[in-house]
Amino acid sequence: MFTGIVEEVGLVAAGPRFSVGCSLVLTDLTPGASIAVNGVCLTAVEIRGDGFSADLAPETLRVTNLGDLKPGDPVNLERPVTPTTRLSGHIVQGHVDRVGILESFENYVLKVQVPKDLDRFLVYKGSICIDGISLTIASVSDGLVTVAIIPHTWEATNLHVRKPGDRVNIECDVLAKHVDKLMSHLSHAHLCGGDLTTITVIPAALLEPVPHAPAFSKESDTQDPFARRSFEPE
Protein backbone atom coordinates (compact mmCIF):
# COMPACT_ATOMS: atom_id res chain seq x y z
CA MET A 1 0.00 0.00 0.00
CA PHE A 2 1.14 3.52 -0.81
CA THR A 3 0.08 7.08 -0.06
CA GLY A 4 0.58 8.90 -3.35
CA ILE A 5 3.41 11.04 -1.98
CA VAL A 6 6.22 10.77 -4.53
CA GLU A 7 9.63 10.27 -2.91
CA GLU A 8 11.88 10.48 -5.93
CA VAL A 9 11.82 10.90 -9.69
CA GLY A 10 13.82 8.13 -11.34
CA LEU A 11 14.87 7.66 -14.95
CA VAL A 12 13.99 4.67 -17.10
CA ALA A 13 17.18 2.78 -17.98
CA ALA A 14 17.95 0.58 -20.95
CA GLY A 15 18.14 -3.17 -20.40
CA PRO A 16 16.46 -6.52 -21.04
CA ARG A 17 14.11 -5.89 -18.11
CA PHE A 18 12.16 -2.80 -17.15
CA SER A 19 14.81 -0.87 -15.21
CA VAL A 20 14.84 2.44 -13.36
CA GLY A 21 17.82 4.49 -12.25
CA CYS A 22 17.37 6.04 -8.79
CA SER A 23 19.05 6.48 -5.41
CA LEU A 24 16.78 7.56 -2.52
CA VAL A 25 14.32 4.66 -2.71
CA LEU A 26 17.20 2.16 -2.75
CA THR A 27 18.13 2.80 0.88
CA ASP A 28 15.95 -0.04 2.18
CA LEU A 29 14.72 -1.66 -1.04
CA THR A 30 15.28 -5.42 -1.12
CA PRO A 31 14.63 -8.06 -3.80
CA GLY A 32 10.96 -9.02 -3.74
CA ALA A 33 9.84 -5.73 -2.19
CA SER A 34 7.10 -3.62 -3.73
CA ILE A 35 7.67 -0.21 -5.23
CA ALA A 36 5.31 2.14 -7.05
CA VAL A 37 6.41 3.38 -10.46
CA ASN A 38 4.06 6.03 -11.88
CA GLY A 39 1.50 4.66 -9.45
CA VAL A 40 1.93 1.03 -10.57
CA CYS A 41 2.84 -1.46 -7.85
CA LEU A 42 5.81 -3.47 -9.11
CA THR A 43 8.09 -6.06 -7.52
CA ALA A 44 11.78 -5.19 -7.48
CA VAL A 45 13.45 -8.40 -8.66
CA GLU A 46 16.98 -7.05 -9.04
CA ILE A 47 18.66 -4.32 -6.97
CA ARG A 48 21.77 -2.53 -8.22
CA GLY A 49 23.81 0.30 -6.82
CA ASP A 50 22.21 2.74 -9.24
CA GLY A 51 18.70 1.40 -9.56
CA PHE A 52 16.43 -1.63 -9.76
CA SER A 53 14.69 -3.85 -12.30
CA ALA A 54 11.20 -5.32 -12.40
CA ASP A 55 9.17 -7.62 -14.63
CA LEU A 56 6.05 -6.29 -16.35
CA ALA A 57 3.06 -8.57 -16.85
CA PRO A 58 0.96 -8.31 -20.03
CA GLU A 59 -1.94 -6.92 -17.97
CA THR A 60 0.33 -4.18 -16.58
CA LEU A 61 1.36 -3.17 -20.09
CA ARG A 62 -2.27 -3.20 -21.24
CA VAL A 63 -3.78 -1.13 -18.43
CA THR A 64 -0.98 1.35 -17.62
CA ASN A 65 1.34 3.75 -19.41
CA LEU A 66 4.53 1.84 -18.54
CA GLY A 67 4.65 0.39 -22.04
CA ASP A 68 4.92 3.94 -23.44
CA LEU A 69 8.17 4.63 -21.58
CA LYS A 70 11.60 4.72 -23.17
CA PRO A 71 15.11 5.08 -21.69
CA GLY A 72 15.57 8.50 -20.12
CA ASP A 73 11.90 9.09 -19.32
CA PRO A 74 11.25 10.30 -15.75
CA VAL A 75 9.01 8.21 -13.50
CA ASN A 76 7.50 8.85 -10.06
CA LEU A 77 8.74 6.48 -7.35
CA GLU A 78 7.35 5.65 -3.91
CA ARG A 79 8.14 2.90 -1.43
CA PRO A 80 5.32 1.11 0.44
CA VAL A 81 3.86 2.75 3.52
CA THR A 82 4.81 1.42 6.95
CA PRO A 83 2.63 1.29 10.11
CA THR A 84 4.50 4.30 11.49
CA THR A 85 4.35 6.39 8.32
CA ARG A 86 2.17 9.48 8.24
CA LEU A 87 -0.61 9.03 5.69
CA SER A 88 0.00 12.37 4.01
CA GLY A 89 -1.90 11.50 0.84
CA HIS A 90 -4.61 8.84 0.68
CA ILE A 91 -4.78 5.05 0.46
CA VAL A 92 -3.21 4.01 -2.85
CA GLN A 93 -2.96 0.35 -3.81
CA GLY A 94 -0.84 0.70 -6.90
CA HIS A 95 -3.57 -1.07 -8.90
CA VAL A 96 -4.18 1.25 -11.83
CA ASP A 97 -7.78 1.31 -13.07
CA ARG A 98 -7.33 2.88 -16.47
CA VAL A 99 -5.22 5.34 -18.42
CA GLY A 100 -6.37 8.96 -18.81
CA ILE A 101 -5.35 11.61 -21.33
CA LEU A 102 -3.82 14.87 -20.19
CA GLU A 103 -5.95 17.58 -21.76
CA SER A 104 -4.19 20.70 -20.49
CA PHE A 105 -1.80 21.94 -17.83
CA GLU A 106 -1.81 25.70 -17.36
CA ASN A 107 -1.24 27.91 -14.32
CA TYR A 108 -0.83 24.82 -12.13
CA VAL A 109 -4.27 23.54 -13.12
CA LEU A 110 -4.23 20.02 -14.52
CA LYS A 111 -7.12 18.66 -16.59
CA VAL A 112 -7.31 14.97 -17.42
CA GLN A 113 -9.88 13.12 -19.50
CA VAL A 114 -10.72 9.83 -17.81
CA PRO A 115 -12.88 6.94 -19.07
CA LYS A 116 -16.54 7.60 -18.29
CA ASP A 117 -16.96 4.28 -16.49
CA LEU A 118 -14.76 5.69 -13.72
CA ASP A 119 -16.97 8.74 -13.22
CA ARG A 120 -19.00 7.11 -10.42
CA PHE A 121 -15.85 6.86 -8.28
CA LEU A 122 -14.94 10.54 -8.65
CA VAL A 123 -16.37 13.28 -6.46
CA TYR A 124 -15.70 16.93 -5.80
CA LYS A 125 -12.88 17.26 -3.22
CA GLY A 126 -12.37 13.51 -3.31
CA SER A 127 -9.02 11.82 -3.87
CA ILE A 128 -7.55 10.55 -7.13
CA CYS A 129 -4.13 9.13 -7.94
CA ILE A 130 -2.60 10.34 -11.21
CA ASP A 131 0.72 8.74 -12.18
CA GLY A 132 1.24 7.84 -8.52
CA ILE A 133 0.50 11.34 -7.22
CA SER A 134 -2.23 11.80 -4.61
CA LEU A 135 -4.35 14.74 -5.74
CA THR A 136 -7.64 16.38 -4.74
CA ILE A 137 -10.38 16.73 -7.33
CA ALA A 138 -11.37 20.36 -7.87
CA SER A 139 -14.11 19.49 -10.36
CA VAL A 140 -15.36 16.58 -12.44
CA SER A 141 -17.74 16.82 -15.37
CA ASP A 142 -18.35 14.49 -18.33
CA GLY A 143 -15.19 12.55 -17.64
CA LEU A 144 -12.99 15.64 -17.38
CA VAL A 145 -11.20 15.81 -14.02
CA THR A 146 -9.60 19.05 -12.87
CA VAL A 147 -7.02 19.22 -10.09
CA ALA A 148 -4.90 22.04 -8.75
CA ILE A 149 -1.14 21.50 -8.51
CA ILE A 150 1.14 23.35 -6.12
CA PRO A 151 4.64 24.34 -7.30
CA HIS A 152 6.28 21.73 -5.04
CA THR A 153 4.30 18.91 -6.67
CA TRP A 154 5.20 20.22 -10.12
CA GLU A 155 8.91 20.26 -9.24
CA ALA A 156 9.07 17.01 -7.21
CA THR A 157 7.28 14.79 -9.73
CA ASN A 158 7.37 14.07 -13.44
CA LEU A 159 4.58 16.59 -14.05
CA HIS A 160 7.14 19.18 -15.10
CA VAL A 161 7.77 17.22 -18.31
CA ARG A 162 4.16 16.31 -19.05
CA LYS A 163 2.39 17.76 -22.06
CA PRO A 164 -1.13 17.61 -23.52
CA GLY A 165 -1.88 14.25 -25.10
CA ASP A 166 0.27 12.27 -22.66
CA ARG A 167 -1.27 9.13 -21.17
CA VAL A 168 -1.34 9.08 -17.37
CA ASN A 169 -2.20 6.28 -14.96
CA ILE A 170 -5.46 6.68 -13.04
CA GLU A 171 -6.33 4.94 -9.78
CA CYS A 172 -9.63 5.82 -8.13
CA ASP A 173 -10.14 5.82 -4.37
CA VAL A 174 -10.49 2.20 -3.21
CA LEU A 175 -13.04 3.25 -0.58
CA ALA A 176 -15.27 4.66 -3.31
CA LYS A 177 -15.03 1.38 -5.23
CA HIS A 178 -16.04 -0.68 -2.21
CA VAL A 179 -18.98 1.60 -1.42
CA ASP A 180 -20.08 1.52 -5.06
CA LYS A 181 -20.15 -2.29 -5.11
CA LEU A 182 -21.96 -2.49 -1.78
CA MET A 183 -24.62 -0.03 -2.91
CA SER A 184 -25.06 -1.84 -6.24
CA HIS A 185 -25.77 -5.09 -4.35
CA LEU A 186 -28.27 -3.32 -2.11
CA SER A 187 -29.98 -1.73 -5.11
CA HIS A 188 -30.16 -5.10 -6.86
CA ALA A 189 -31.69 -6.71 -3.78
CA HIS A 190 -34.28 -3.93 -3.57
CA LEU A 191 -35.24 -4.24 -7.23
CA CYS A 192 -35.59 -8.02 -6.84
CA GLY A 193 -37.90 -7.63 -3.83
CA GLY A 194 -35.22 -8.54 -1.33
CA ASP A 195 -35.49 -7.66 2.34
CA LEU A 196 -33.20 -4.75 3.17
CA THR A 197 -33.05 -5.34 6.89
CA THR A 198 -31.56 -2.70 9.13
CA ILE A 199 -29.16 -4.25 11.62
CA THR A 200 -29.00 -2.55 14.98
CA VAL A 201 -26.18 -3.34 17.39
CA ILE A 202 -27.34 -3.31 21.02
CA PRO A 203 -24.74 -3.25 23.82
CA ALA A 204 -24.76 -6.52 25.80
CA ALA A 205 -25.29 -4.63 29.06
CA LEU A 206 -28.66 -3.42 27.83
CA LEU A 207 -29.77 -6.98 27.17
CA GLU A 208 -29.32 -8.10 30.81
CA PRO A 209 -32.63 -8.63 32.66
CA VAL A 210 -33.49 -5.86 35.09
CA PRO A 211 -35.49 -6.99 38.17
CA HIS A 212 -38.60 -4.97 38.99
CA ALA A 213 -38.24 -2.89 35.84
CA PRO A 214 -40.38 0.26 36.20
CA ALA A 215 -43.23 0.92 33.81
CA PHE A 216 -44.92 4.08 32.62
CA SER A 217 -48.03 4.96 34.59
CA LYS A 218 -51.24 5.04 32.65
CA GLU A 219 -51.76 8.65 33.62
CA SER A 220 -48.42 9.77 32.25
CA ASP A 221 -49.01 8.08 28.89
CA THR A 222 -51.41 10.83 27.91
CA GLN A 223 -49.07 13.65 28.87
CA ASP A 224 -46.52 15.49 26.78
CA PRO A 225 -44.17 12.77 25.41
CA PHE A 226 -41.20 15.06 25.97
CA ALA A 227 -42.09 15.83 29.60
CA ARG A 228 -40.53 13.94 32.48
CA ARG A 229 -42.48 10.72 33.14
CA SER A 230 -43.67 9.43 36.49
CA PHE A 231 -42.98 5.78 37.22
CA GLU A 232 -44.61 3.13 39.38
CA PRO A 233 -43.47 -0.42 40.08
CA GLU A 234 -45.29 -3.28 38.41
Residue 33 lies inside a defined structural domain of this protein: yes
Residue 206 lies inside a defined structural domain of this protein: no
* pLDDT (average), residues 144-154: 96
From the list 129, 154, 136, the residue with the least C-alpha distance to 78 is: 129
Residue 214 lies inside a defined structural domain of this protein: no
Residue 229 lies inside a defined structural domain of this protein: no
* Helices and strands per DSSP (H, E), number in the chain: 4, 14
* CATH code for position 36: 2.40.30.20
Return the H-helix or E-strand segment holding 15.
none
CA angle (100 as vertex; 57, 139 as ends), nearest 5: 140
pTM more than 0.85? no
Q: Tens digit of pLDDT for each residue in 50-67?
A: 999 999 999 999 999 999
Residue 198 lies inside a defined structural domain of this protein: no
- Domain containing residue 162: 8-179
Q: Tens digit of pLDDT for each residue in 1-29?
A: 999 999 999 999 998 899 999 999 999 99
Residue 227 lies inside a defined structural domain of this protein: no
Residue 205 lies inside a defined structural domain of this protein: no
Please tell me the distance from the alpha carbon of residue 13 to that of residue 20, in angstroms, as a whole number.
5
What is residue 234's predicted lDDT score, i.e. its pLDDT?
A: 43
Please tell me the distance from the alpha carbon of residue 186 to that of residue 171, in angstroms, as a whole number.
25
Number of domains in the chain: 1
Residue 208 lies inside a defined structural domain of this protein: no
Q: Tens digit of pLDDT for each residue in 66-113?
A: 999 999 999 999 999 988 878 888 989 999 999 999 999 999 999 999
Supply the residues annotated as catalytic.
Answer: 2, 34, 41, 43, 57, 95, 136
Tell me whether residue 92 is exposed, middle or buried, using C-beta atoms within 10 angstroms of its C-beta: 0 to 12, 13 to 18, 19 or more.
buried
DSSP secondary structure string, 98-125?
EEEEEEEEETTEEEEE--GGGGGG--TT
